[in-house]
A and B are shown apart, each in its own frame.
Chain A
Amino acid sequence: MNFSIYGCKKFVVGSFDDEAVLFPAVKKVRAAGYKLHDVYTPFPVHGLDHAMGLRETSLHTAGFVYGLTGTTTALSVMGWVFTTDWPMNIGGKPHFPLPAFIPITFELTVLFAAVGMVLTFCYLCQLAPFVKNTFSTRVRQTICLSWRSK
């Protein structure tokens, strides 16, 4: 493949069969001042993100925000229905019976957090059913991205 058409960057692709060999290589390449583009692994290698100098993901924070959205949605919809839209007398109980609303509020918190996080994860990693990703397309994309960011 002729990479030079994308600019005058040169790429070196290395292949490793064990993380024990990969880690020193990552350290040395970085220490020598080269920019590491990415490391593709078949399973999560713990500590590799730190070795590559990646920042922590803030997916957790997003999950927290989605969860809060679920909590508010549940409480406000149930509250609005039972106090404003169609107030009903159910066994003489209050129109806003908070303890009885807790189960649904909890379920919606979990549902919103989980669905939101998975969708965000798919968006950030660009994952979708018909995305094609073989090794050669991966390399080509990598080149394109670095060319654009220049």
Chain B
Amino acid sequence: MHLKYESTLREPLVDGVKDYHQVTEDIISPIEAKPGKLWYIGFFISLVLLGFGAFSVFWEVYFGTGVWNLNKTIGWGYDITNFVWWVGIGHAGTLISAILLLFRQGWRTGVNRAAEAMTIFAVMCAGQFPIFHMGRVWMGFFILPYPNTRGPVWVNFNSPLLWDVFAISTYFTVSLLFWYSGLIPDFATVRDRAKTKLRKLLYGVASFGWTGSTKHWQRHEALSLVLAGLSTPLVLSVHTIVSFDFATSVIPGWHTTIFPPYFVAGAIFSGFAMVNTLLIITRKILGLEDYITIGHIEAMNKVIVLTGSVVGVAYLTELFMAWYGANPYEFDTFYKYRAAGPLGWSYWIMMSCNVISPQVFWFSKMRRNIMVTFVMSIIVNIGMWFERFVIICTSLYRDYLPSSWGYYRPSWPEVGFYVGTFGLFFTCFFLFAKYFPVIAVAEIKSVLKTTGKSYKEKMGKYEAQDVDAFAHDQAHH
């Protein structure tokens, strides 16, 4: 039955001496305990930020989008920058849960639950920006194709902005279903060991009456695999379509075919940085260092250095094409108004945060250093925010008509709205960390015997054996 074992050369994914019960204890008991002081402080700060964001949004809806510092040429500023940034962050969660499942990367089991939660919260934050940019949000449903009494007037199915509506809402729905179907068995575990009446009731409702029957597990596995297969092209399509918002226009600096792969790589890059930011704190506070190990953090840093370099190559390709393409508008956009000019500082922040600084991760010592990883994860997210800002604003503030050239800086409701989405994101994440199993209990249990440290140590005798003797022994068991 257990002919398969993992080489001791591979780093264990679960440290310490664990049996199945210990895994449940480690992951579920923080849910059953009262949260610590740090949790209350963090949650309170998040709520304050959320409140300020809600006020900024109220201000914008009440007085109109005029309170934002958008003007004639800069029709997209902070809002769309933030939209693309948040959507990008979400991509790492789907990459971990779907693409790494298809590639059979065992380390995903330790981080996938929290990363998927991050995806869902990030997409929720992202969605706010285009919705409130509509101005008259109560007309928001006009973006949906439904039979109406105005003709019927339909939406334009040729428009990338409409594709975005479909892409983002599908992405949110599918991510939510994928995440929740994985949570059902773990909620059942919480329910089955619940002592209080309220917890029994709530987790009973949340677990949908899951039993753990073998037939149900078989279907569950099939469902997870197909959802992973569907999410893989979906996650690539979402940022591709977001990049179409720009690439299908005729603005210099936007009208390029490199955008889809460049946006997807950037999205994964920023997403993994955010996963690192969140998990370094979560593992410390919840005491989950045995499950989210240095090995996990190193694996994510490897993805960061790869995608960061892909993004770097894309920046250089853009610069090369701006010169080689011999289009004077394209050339001016890149060499006069992006790398130089009044907003040139943002270009160099982007370059140094995204391309130069992640190169420290070529060194294993740096990849395995928690402090370096944490600081880098913040730097990368700042850099990726500036990437979107550079793409949007430095292409728009120098129009074809020099008389309309200007500068852009956000007004307080724009900044407040952005800060408010941090409040929304962290409020959701704090609730998640307290009330949800932060690590997929069932998945950790199913890889425990092949990748757990204490189990791998027992494999020494098999490692010493030669192949024929091993096969012979196993066959006669």
Contacts and interface: CB of A to CB of B under 8 A. Distances in A.
A146 B269 CA distance: 54
Interface residues of B, number: 61
A17 B20 CA distance: 9
Contacts of A107: 163, 166-167, 170, 234, 237
Given A54-B214, A133-B211, A44 B1 contact: no
A39 B214 CA distance: 6
A118 B177 contact: yes
B344 to A, nearest CB: 34
B222 A127 contact: no
B174 A111 contact: yes
Contact of B181 (A52, A78, A118): A118
B102 interface: no
Contacts of B189: 42
Given A77-B145, A104-B162, A121 B442 contact: no
Band of interface residues on A? 35 or more
B436 interface: no
B445 A43 contact: yes
B205 interface: yes
In terms of DSSP, what is the predominant structure of the interface of chain B?
Answer: helix
Interface string A58-93: 011001000100000000011001100110101001
Interface string A111-141: 1011101100110111111111111001000
Contacts of B177: 114-115, 118
B125 to A, nearest CB: 21
Interface string B219-239: 111110011001001100100
A82 B159 CA distance: 13
A103 B237 contact: yes
Contact of B216 (A43, A90, A125): A125
Contacts of B24: 42
B151 interface: yes
B213 to A, nearest CB: 5
Nearest to B4: A46
A77 B443 CA distance: 41
A34 interface: no
From B152, B160, B211, residue with most partner A Cβ within 10 Å: B211
A20 interface: yes
Contacts of B154: 81-82, 85-86
Contacts of A56: 218
Contacts of B157: 78, 81-82, 100-101, 104
Interface of B: 1-2, 20, 24, 145, 151-154, 156-158, 160, 162-163, 166-167, 170, 173-174, 177-178, 181, 184-185, 188-189, 192, 204-223, 226-227, 230, 233-234, 237, 241, 244, 441-443, 445-446
25 contacts: A18-B20, A20-B1, A23-B1, A38-B215, A40-B212, A43-B185, A43-B442, A43-B446, A44-B442, A45-B214, A54-B215, A54-B218, A57-B218, A57-B219, A59-B223, A81-B157, A97-B158, A104-B162, A110-B230, A114-B173, A114-B177, A114-B227, A131-B209, A132-B204, A133-B207
Given A103-B241, A133-B211, 14 more contacts: A42-B189, A43-B185, A44-B218, A45-B446, A49-B217, A59-B222, A63-B230, A81-B157, A82-B157, A86-B151, A93-B158, A106-B233, A111-B170, A125-B213
Those 8 A-B pairs whose CB atoms lie nearest each other, nearest first: A131-B209, A127-B208, A43-B442, A133-B209, A43-B445, A103-B163, A107-B166, A44-B217
